[in-house]
Structure 1
Amino acid sequence: MGKISKADKKIAYDHKLCQFLDDYTQVLVAAADNVGSNQLQNIRQGLRGDSVILMGKNTMMKRSIRMHSEKTGNKAYLNLIPLLVGNVGLIFTKGDLKEVREEVAKYKVGAPARVGLVAPVDVVVPSGNTGLDPSQTSFFQVLNIPTKINKGTVEIITPVELIKKGDKVGSSEAALLAKLNIRPFSYGLVVQSIYENGSVFSPDVLDLTDDDLIEKFALGVSMVTSLALAVHYPTIAAAPHMLINGYKNVLAVSVETEYSFPLADNVKAYLADPSKFAVAAPVAGGGDDAPAAAAPVEETKDEPAEESDDEPLFSLFD
């Protein structure tokens, strides 16, 4: 069998990508910086069943997507093109998006700090014994790391932030971390965007819970209600508030005039003589006769009964 030409490889790749676009409606766009071939193979095996990973050059993927969109008339595929920036791959899946993202995140591999790499996280050298002999003290002195000699080995006195997130790793930092056998970075496929049936959204959406959705929905209803009340436009959300406000206005007119209606009669009676409603408050443990039972207590509160030294205490309750 002869060697496959580059043109044949491109045709095969184009056919594969177009076939995936037809078969799958969900695509995860993942960054693949510093991901090795063995690591990528492990991820493929973990996703085997309902997901496939397709890597390739961005220009080739964009061309195939654009041509397939024109061929099928499906313009939704074009939403993938702006997402193909940098070293990225496409994960086509029919499974649950959140579960697929979590499965991909399992395959992160620790990596040493190589010279020139941009640190994805802060790197802190912990305090404690390093196990290095005193001749290695110069590495720590160059990086201004406080040390002392303890039992013939170098000991770091306090933790030191060696590299900040976003900074490039220098030769001294890389050499020191290698001597301390510290692998501060971890790399794997990182989902950056999600495409689903023509819609593109951030993977942070997958972390939303039912409570978050209810809270956002309630906030939206509150804003719609406030707007409707402000412009006096009736909506289902604003109707109860409008009815209550209307009742308050009519009640205010009724209180100030001779006009009355059943719902205003009790309010007028209370305003005319509040004392009639004084016994209306419920008494704990009381029934229909609770107000009557409470009256003697009111009368005897100011005049406590005199106790006799000759009578037993229980006679007070006879």
Structure 2
Amino acid sequence: MHHVADWKKEKVAELEDLTKDHEIIGIVNLADIPAPQLQTMRKSLYGKAVIKMSRKNFIKLALENADNENLKGLVDYIDGQPAMVFTETNPFKLFKILEDSKTEAPAKAGSIAPADIVVPAGDTSFPPGPILGELQQAGIPAKIDKGKIVVTDDAVVVEEGDEISKDVADILTKLEIHPMEVGIDLLAVCEGDTIYTADVLEIDEEETIQTIQTAHQNAINLAVFAGIYNSESAPVIVQKAARDALNLALNANILTSETTDKILSKAYLQMLALAGKLSADALDDELSEKLSSQAAAATTPAEDNTEEPEEEPEEEEEAAEEAAAVGLGALFG
């Protein structure tokens, strides 16, 4: 019969007890974190979460023996150098705390680039020497300028997802470019009957807030137009009803304490417009009458001269011009 060492039982029992004492349980990966940085990160979590490192099989046993059946699902996310995290902090908030605690780290040969690694153009601190060849061999365009080695153009030395070679890692360290992130990776969290994975927990806060605000406004608009009363829609519905009632009363000339002044103002403006139109019509009639009388007076001498065609034609032309002048005078003033 195989005997299990007491210390192993104690380790599993410790994890089981912590599981019973906390509502939210997670699995994290502590791989590649230097001891000093890990200690700093654990201190930053003091009072917010407890992290317990253990062997993979101990963690697996603790999860399988847990009272919450859903915790067994976390077994599938055990990876790297695993540890369990115990907390009462909301999973999304916990994920953000852990992400914010991450720090920059030098590149290591064999590591996978988390994003494009770029060496920017500009001066370096290196004097002319063998490092110029190292830069060029790593795919970094460089030359000697004014006694210094200068990178002439931005250069992508490793693309996202590619492995970092030893030569590139060494040159990045010499250039003091630290493209890696070191920190506690939260792989999955169980809260109640739900398991949240890292891709779900990683959200854009600003975008999420904007989405919620838009949804809230759309819900209010729907409630207002559908006549659904709640604490948000009721004030808007009442304001809209008041505006509609006021417009109806104004258009129907119904006198109330709120419409009387507006209706009288509208009537006064209509009166002024009508008075202006009547005055314009009267002036048009007077001008027409004046033009008619002037035209009649101007044509009388021409009729008298029809019996004496032998007289000088200049007199007839002068009479016509005079009549035209009188007509234009009457028209323009």
What range describes the TM-score normalised by the shorter chain of this pair?
0.5 to 0.7
User: Which residue of 2 is the match for residue 64 of structure 1?
Assistant: 62
Q: In the alignment, does 2:176 pair up with 1:176?
A: no
| Aligned equivalents of 1:206, 1:157: Cα separation in 2 | 36
| Aligned equivalents of 1:10, 1:62: Cα separation in 2 | 13
Q: Does the Cα contact within 8 Å between 2:49 and 2:85 map onto a contact in 1?
A: yes
**With structure 2 as the length reference, what TM-score do the two structures score?**
0.62
User: Which residue of 1 is the match for residue 312 of structure 2?
Assistant: none
**With structure 1 as the length reference, what TM-score do the two structures score?**
0.65
User: Which residue of 2 is the match for residue 16 of structure 1?
Assistant: 14
| Aligned equivalents of 2:10, 2:40: Cα separation in 1 | 24
User: Which residue of 2 is the match for residue 265 of structure 1?
Assistant: none
Name the larger-Rg structure.
Answer: 2
Q: In the alignment, does 2:156 pair up with 1:161?
A: yes
| Aligned equivalents of 2:49, 2:195: Cα separation in 1 | 18
The unaligned stretches of length 5 or more in structure 2 are 229-250, 284-333
Structure 1, residues 288-313: CA drift from partner, whole Å, max 9, x if none? 4234212223324556699xxxxxxx
Shift in Å at residue 172 of structure 1? 2.3
Q: In the alignment, does 2:91 pair up with 1:116?
A: no
Query: Residues 196 and 213 from structure 1, CA distance in 2 versus in 1: closer, same or farther, beyond 3 angstroms?
Result: farther
The 5 Å alignment of 1:75-94 reads 75-94=69-88
Shift in Å at residue 106 of structure 1? 4.3
| Aligned equivalents of 1:186, 1:152: Cα separation in 2 | 34
Shift in Å at residue 17 of structure 1? 0.9
| Aligned equivalents of 1:58, 1:121: Cα separation in 2 | 30
Please give the root-mean-square deviation of Cα atoms over the aligned residues, in Å.
3.9
Shift in Å at residue 212 of structure 1? 4.2
Query: Residues 217 and 205 from structure 1, CA distance in 2 versus in 1: closer, same or farther, beyond 3 angstroms?
Result: farther
Query: Residues 133 and 292 from structure 1, CA distance in 2 versus in 1: closer, same or farther, beyond 3 angstroms?
Result: closer
Letter in 2 for 1:20: L
Query: Residues 178 and 285 from structure 1, CA distance in 2 versus in 1: closer, same or farther, beyond 3 angstroms?
Result: farther
Shift in Å at residue 47 of structure 1? 2.0
User: Which residue of 2 is the match for residue 139 of structure 1?
Assistant: 134
Shift in Å at residue 85 of structure 1? 3.5
Q: Sequence identity, in percent? A: 23
| Aligned equivalents of 2:174, 2:110: Cα separation in 1 | 18
Shift in Å at residue 93 of structure 1? 0.9
Paired positions, count: 250
Q: Does the Cα contact within 8 Å between 1:98 and 1:206 map onto a contact in 2?
A: no
| Aligned equivalents of 2:154, 2:190: Cα separation in 1 | 43
| Aligned equivalents of 1:30, 1:52: Cα separation in 2 | 11
Letter in 2 for 1:54: K
